[in-house]
Chains A and B, each alone.
Chain A
Amino acid sequence: MAAPLFLLAPPRSYTSLMNAMLGQHPQAFGLPELCLFNVKVLKDLWVRETDEMENFSKTRHGLYRAVAEIYTGEQTSSTVTMAAHWCAMRQNWSTADIYRELAAQIHPLIPVEKSPAYTISVKRMQAMLEAFPDARFIHLTRDPIGQCKSVMNMNEGAFALYVNSIDFLPDRAIIEPQLCWHDLNLNIMEFLKTVPQEQQMRVRGEDIMNEPKTGLAAVCRWLGIRDDEEAIEQMMHPERSPFACFGPVNALFGNDPNFLSGPTFRPHKVEFAPMDKPVPWRTDGKGLRPEVISLARELGYGSDAERAGSSMPSSRGRIGPIDGDPVTTHPDLDALTPEQIAFRDALLYEFKAKKVKLFVNEQVDYIAPDDFEELAENAIDFLFDEHGRPPANAPIEDIIEEARKCEYADRWLEALLVQLRKRRDLLTDREGQALERLISAPAKDLAIPARQALTGASQGALANAAKQEYRETLENVVVFQFSSKKLRKFVEKHVTNIHMNVMIAQGAKAVFDESTIPPPDADLATVIGERRRMTHIVEWFEGAQAQIRAGLIELREIESQALDYVRQGYLHAAEKKSKSK
């Protein structure tokens, strides 16, 4: 199979555009952000490690869209349903195997992908190389000022915050994107030291924007694929990629929303800001750090004279103040002082507050647009993206249908849960009674089920074994309580992998299958085992129900926004009409 081409870059480095352009080459296939190498095993892509930051569920949208497109030729709610089952079937596969299967399907076209989150960790990039020893890598760069400004303009600098790109001032913490510009580029460079030279290339994004045809042709020659005019012309139309738009309602994203809103390429001359001046995202007048300027020079930014006069250090180190695994946002905070930890918490809080404010502002904008009639007309057919533009594949009917499905699934889960809880309670009672008898009765009078459980044992051994079992059960209860957090995580991990219909089918089977109730003379171990199993199933269902309800609330909110939008539009149109009379 054709080895993939990976673009390595921090976000906002022209990666979406470049990925779509290269992916439009007749011998290539541009993918959305798959994020597969974020984890080792597919199901871990469904595990939310923390609720500290948002943007979790969107991680899977790219994979869903890719699977739908590759296996069915289109991306709709129905084909994404297929994709969810495709994932469920492979949930225990390594992500390397998943990627290889996709590449085999795309063969002989070259898969082209970028997921900026890969660059967060050298280990992730190493996993890519291990999966595809022949893979090609392009280190795509952008000058630090332009990239950092862009990061800060996108979702209030969420990505930088996500990777703990935080600077501590004496009285507060601020998001400082240059830290992650530096550290992520450093990660890439460290990783590329392990990649054969002929498999890597460094490209300045600005050069592609300025002279796209020349730059793209050079990349094609390096890849050994066609660089003729027709092929280059194809690459000039990233908007033709099937992923260059919003996806269906159950997989809307898979790329930077700004790109999804406006994927058309417009060649332009990129202006560079001076690197020795205060940077615009800070209010304290400070500029780029020397380490950042030095690395920028090494990557080819600045005039010839500046670069010539810049001394390159023999080695570079990370400059971000927070260590640990940044992507899980489980940073190692031990190195921080209590004040810094408090400042960081305050920053996170401020960020969330800003998001809420932004959301409210957007709603206000929605109900006061310029051309209500047109908006009303569009709104009836489409959901809106964050710029008020209609994404092509998300008709409002889909939202309503998805919500209906959730509501109906919830009814089933609730009804099944009632039965499952009854069954669990029955088993718990039966177990409790048996244990009660065991601990209160002299050994010779032990209950029959317990005796049956330990057939062949002496009376004394029987009593001891039964009491031991009781103690273990108690211990298990304690362990169970203490591990509830872990269990919740487990539940979430499994539940999210499985389509709600699967849940219902499995629940129905558990409820309707009478054989799952142990007979009255069943041995104690069976009763305990079945009670534990039922407790687990109940937990599992409760987790699923919570998720479906959360999803439903979200869908209803979207639906309500869209309908409000429509209503306002019609009211305004009617008002205008009556005034004109």
Chain B
Amino acid sequence: MRRAINRLGIKPGLASGDFDLIAQGGFGDGLNAYAHSMAWFNGHLYVATTRGNFPLARKRLPISMDVWPVECPEDPFALDLQAEIWRYRPGKEGWERVFKAPMIVGSDGKLITRELGLRGMLVYQPTADAVPELYVATWSPAKGPGPVLLRSVDGRNFEPSCEPGLIGLPVTAIRTLVQFKGRLFTTPAGSRGGNPNVSAHSIVYESRNPAQGKWEPVSDFGFGAAGNLSVFEMVGFGDYLYVGTFNLEGFQIWRSTVEGTPPYQWEKVIDRGAYRGPLNQIAISMQPFKGALYVGSGIQGGGVDTQNKIGPAPPELIRIFPDGSWDLLVGEARDTPDGRKEPLSGYLPGFDNYFCGYFWRMCEHDGWLYMGTFEWSALLGYANRSKWPRPFTEVVNQVDAQQILDNQSGFSLYRSHDGANWVPVTTNGMSNPYNIGLRTLVSTPHGLFIGTANPFGPKIIPLKGSRYRHNPRGGCEVFLASGLKGNK
């Protein structure tokens, strides 16, 4: 049996065997591809989905596939793409669907879903005695009116709390939601034309009364730098609100005490992707942990930005201290204006995995920092190889895509007790190669919940297969680790 705590006071972290699969197959509907956001609210776990990611990607993104892994109709809106919210109460059997996006008339006069996906979720409680409210950030179809923040007090009824596009902005998605100093902060994340990550409107918005939908800008456009294409991620740490950007020259990190009169004073903390440059394109995840702010990077498109011809390249992890100094934790050793940086973990980018695309989400749970990744090797067997570099094609052919799928594919989950030394929890998507990403992690009194990105449902064409068939492990999955189990 594993010890509860060792003599140095360290309680061991979770292992893969500690997790139970509590939802699979996209809650019974394989089109629920991404468990895209998650929160613990009023004794329930809430999970919101994005649906039909492959069909949407085929329509909108320059991704070249020989065969798409799942059926992708010419018009993805022929599918049911109405995003859903599900909830789960520990100790009770089963899941309850509490929200399904309504159908509306799109700008072309056809019926479309109002929300394709729900990318962010937050319990907002500005003061200890305030009634907590659940906010959900939405992703609107390009022909829809624009994204909103859904609000719920009872966990069953979700209503838009603001006008489409937050304040009528011409954007399509909102992703990040942060409560800080009693206020709610957010920013647009995507725009029309197949740009789920580029808003062309990189401004931080603040609300002291989000229920009334009152929002005001509190930063300059892109913090004065045209290269900041989106404000991608935000988090409060110490006395500052930290903001990470999407920038083709490498992400930037800015911070502000958000005091005084808006627009607030902002200070740049990290530039040019911590001096790695374009390969650290987006500050994709941010999490405070034991006195430092951890920042994971990524390149849009799962690590290969075909639009901007950046990558493939695996991501890095850095940490920033309150005084602005920083460490490279996972990544490539380099000389920087801040001195020589060696990866303190001993890991190369992507935790030594060339196919890791993002360090996607982090979460602190029971004294450990957990990091979930996105890993794209499951797509190798389906991708069109004609534009690949020849050596790459030959290597993949020789290793064999089925071998890769069987032995390597699937997200990784790592954990660290000190932020510098990282332990693999799983490196194969919890034994499901179709779980290509770990998108959500939530620490609750009942344990650690994790939700996956798994667009390989409801039917899949197996590698070297000739027809689509039901994929029992396709569609997003949710796991719960209530505590340490055995000795694995």
Residues on A facing B (Cβ under 8 Å): 29, 69-74, 76, 78-79, 81-82, 84-90, 105-106, 109, 242, 392-393, 395, 397, 404-405, 408, 411-412, 414-416, 418-419, 422-423, 499, 501-502, 504-506, 508-509, 511-512, 514
Contact = CB atoms under 8 A, between A and B. Distances in A.
B107 interface: no
Nearest to B415: A72
A350 to B, nearest CB: 41
A506 B8 contact: no
A416 B396 CA distance: 9
Interface string B343-381: 111111111111000000000000000000000000000
Interface in B163-208: none
19 contacts: A29-B8, A71-B418, A73-B3, A73-B5, A73-B417, A74-B2, A82-B422, A84-B346, A85-B345, A85-B421, A242-B3, A242-B7, A395-B487, A408-B407, A411-B398, A419-B395, A501-B353, A504-B352, A505-B349
A242 B408 CA distance: 32
Contacts of A502: 347-348, 352
A413 to B, nearest CB: 10
Interface string B331-346: 0000000000011111
B6 interface: yes
Interface string B379-396: 000000000010110111
Nearest to A81: B424
A499 B394 CA distance: 24
Given A86-B421, A109-B7, 12 more contacts: A29-B8, A73-B10, A73-B12, A78-B425, A392-B487, A393-B487, A404-B407, A408-B408, A411-B398, A418-B395, A423-B391, A505-B352
A7 to B, nearest CB: 19
A225 B178 CA distance: 50
Contacts of B349: 505
B6 A415 contact: no
A473 B220 CA distance: 60
B408 A69 contact: no
A418 B345 contact: no
B392 A511 contact: yes
B488 interface: yes
B417 A72 contact: yes
B354 to A, nearest CB: 5
B399 interface: yes
Contacts of B342: 89
B6 A242 contact: yes
Interface residues of B, number: 46
Nearest to B344: A89
Contacts of B209: none
A501 B344 CA distance: 17
B35 interface: no
| A-B complex: 5 closest residue pairs judged by Cβ atoms | A73-B10, A85-B346, A89-B346, A501-B352, A415-B398
Interface of B: 2-3, 5-8, 10-13, 15, 314, 342-354, 389, 391-392, 394-396, 398-400, 403, 407-408, 417-418, 421-425, 487-488
A423 B39 CA distance: 51
A242 B395 CA distance: 43
Contact of A415 (B346, B389, B399): B399
Grouping DSSP codes into helix (H, G, I), strand (E, B) and loop, the B interface class, with mixed when no group exceeds half, is: loop
Contact of B394 (A72, A86, A89, A419): A419
Grouping DSSP codes into helix (H, G, I), strand (E, B) and loop, the A interface class, with mixed when no group exceeds half, is: helix
A74 B12 contact: yes
Contacts of A414: 398
Contacts of B423: 72, 78-79, 81-82
B49 to A, nearest CB: 30
Given A29-B8, A85-B421, A416 B395 contact: yes
A418 B353 CA distance: 20
A411 B400 contact: yes
A516 to B, nearest CB: 10
Given A73-B12, A86-B346, A514 B389 contact: yes
B6 A74 contact: yes
Nearest to B397: A415
Contacts of B394: 415, 418-419
A505 to B, nearest CB: 5
Interface centre among B347, B391, B403, B418 (most CB of A within 10 A): B391
A122 B473 CA distance: 61
Contacts of A87: 346
A78 B348 contact: no
Contacts of B345: 85-86, 89
A418 B398 contact: yes
Nearest to B484: A74
A509 B421 contact: no
A85 B347 contact: yes
Contacts of A242: 3, 6-7
Nearest to B407: A408
Nearest to A418: B398
A422 B11 CA distance: 50
Contacts of A415: 394-396, 398-399
Nearest to A79: B423
Given A89-B346, A109-B7, A419 B391 contact: yes
B8 A73 contact: yes
A422 B395 CA distance: 12
Contacts of A90: 346
B242 to A, nearest CB: 27
Interface centre among B349, B353, B407 (most CB of A within 10 A): B407
B7 to A, nearest CB: 6
Nearest to A67: B421
A512 B348 CA distance: 16
Nearest to B367: A73
Contacts of A508: 354, 395
A71 B420 CA distance: 10
B422 A85 contact: yes
A499 B421 CA distance: 15
Contacts of B408: 408
A504 B423 CA distance: 19
B276 to A, nearest CB: 14
Nearest to B11: A73
A558 B161 CA distance: 63
A499 B352 contact: yes
B483 to A, nearest CB: 14
B8 A106 contact: yes
Contact of A70 (B8, B353, B398, B403): B8
B145 to A, nearest CB: 43
Contacts of B344: 89
A91 to B, nearest CB: 9
Contacts of A499: 352
Interface centre among A78, A106, A512 (most CB of B within 10 A): A78
Contacts of B487: 76, 392-393, 395
A93 to B, nearest CB: 11
Contacts of A512: 389, 391-392
Contacts of A506: 348
A492 B300 CA distance: 38
B421 A71 contact: yes
B138 to A, nearest CB: 37
A106 B10 CA distance: 11
A360 to B, nearest CB: 32
A501 B356 CA distance: 12
